[in-house]
Amino acid sequence: GRNNVCYIHLTLVPYIQSAGEIKTKPTQHSVKELREIGIQADAVVCRTIQPLPEDERRKIALFTNVQKEAVISAWDVESIYKIPMMLHEQMLDEIVCHKLQILARAADLSEWKKIVHTQEHPEHEVDVAFVGKYVDLQDSYKSLNEALRHAGIHTNSKVNIHYVDSEELEKGNSVPLEKMDAILVPGGFGKRGTEGKMRAIRFARENGVPYLGICLGMQLATVEFARNVCGLTGANSTEFDPDTPHPVVALITEWLDRTGRIERRSEKSDLGGTMRLGSQKCPVEPNTLASSVYGSEVNERHRHRYEVNNIYVPQLEAKGYKVSARTPSESLPEIMELPGHPFFMGVQFHPEFTSTPRHGHPLFKAFISAALRHRAASKLRVVAA
């Protein structure tokens, strides 16, 4: 029945800067349209750039037939994590509970307050180079951006994300990387910008800068290592060079077995098919960087078609690269790292999807912690010089 439903209407209340006026007409009109289909809002949440004046709240309440206290102002804030407190202070939670006849205890937002306080008053600061090809549209990497900021909250740090166009790095300019405390290469697809990403990876590897590669970022780290450490000239992913003499990364259907024959696999194959999608568990090698982050097991979400080619793993490991986690049934590399480097890790999965502001994610927290150590060590070197 009606008592089991609470209608909250979210509406835009534009501010006309040239006139210095807030316009409530769109809200009045949308509420009228809702009434015509039999919906009466119990609360109206007004999205605006600044808190609504009391006279505007009264006007909206009058025209929408809701109590003034149920006209909620949702204005622009620096952090989305302030919004729960904003709504709580205007008692939206109590309005909902009252409407649904729920006897609820008082909300405890102390944890949210700590999150916001840490964001606004961090004790530390790090600069992370985010090397991608969609850097002009930063929301393309929204989940990763937030995962880095979550890690900042849990390391009491302000994470300054510097978006670096990988195509610019292909021109040989490493200046955007030189003052960074860490480098991240995200997932992606397509050949454009991959050589620039590998330049960034090589810079991190050779200069001891903490590096984290996500999905494609792990694959490119493997290709870079194969080329420049293992001496496999022309090594590449078949995604970018189908005729590469060294398919270090390939579709599983394109893998060579140990006799040199192409292994034929399908979507139904136990060995992976053409797409790995969703969550999968796998054990982690003890005494590795991965085990210090995840413990004995990792369970993360995947979305990719290409894998590191197992036939090249012995050559990679002989030169110091290490597979620290494999899938249990197919033995596909899940995590690869570089022992002896301060922090160099590539993961085939997408850990950013499970990061939250309350808990962060262990991998991103470890990455930002490594960035903090690198920053501190860099300052010591400057002082010593």
Give the chain's mean pLDDT: 92
For residues 272 and 92, which has the higher predicted lDDT (pLDDT)? 92
pLDDT tens for residues 315-371? 999 999 999 999 998 889 999 999 999 999 999 999 999 999 999 999 999 999 999
Given a contact cutoff of 8 angstroms between Cβ atoms, the answer to whether 95 and 69 are in contact is: yes
CATH topology agreement for domains 2-114 and 124-380: yes
Report the candidate in 332, 277, 329, 335 with the shortest Cα–Cα distance to residue 307. 332
Name the residues annotated as catalytic: 215, 350, 352
For the chain, the distance separating the N- and C-terminal CA atoms, rounded to the nearest angstrom, is 75
CATH topology of domain 124-380: Rossmann fold (3.40.50)
pLDDT at residue 19 in the model: 83
3-state secondary structure of 216: helix
- Residue 261: band (very low, low, confident or very high) from pLDDT cuts 50, 70, 90: low
Residue that has been written with the tokens 């804030």 in this structure: 77
Domain spans, the chain: 2-114, 124-380
Report the candidate in 136, 237, 141, 131 with the shortest Cα–Cα distance to residue 184. 131
* Pairwise CA distance, residues 103 & 372, whole Å: 46
Q: Lowest-pLDDT range, 8-12, 18-22, 169-173, 374-378? A: 18-22
**Whole-structure pTM value:** 0.88
CATH topology of domain 2-114: Rossmann fold (3.40.50)
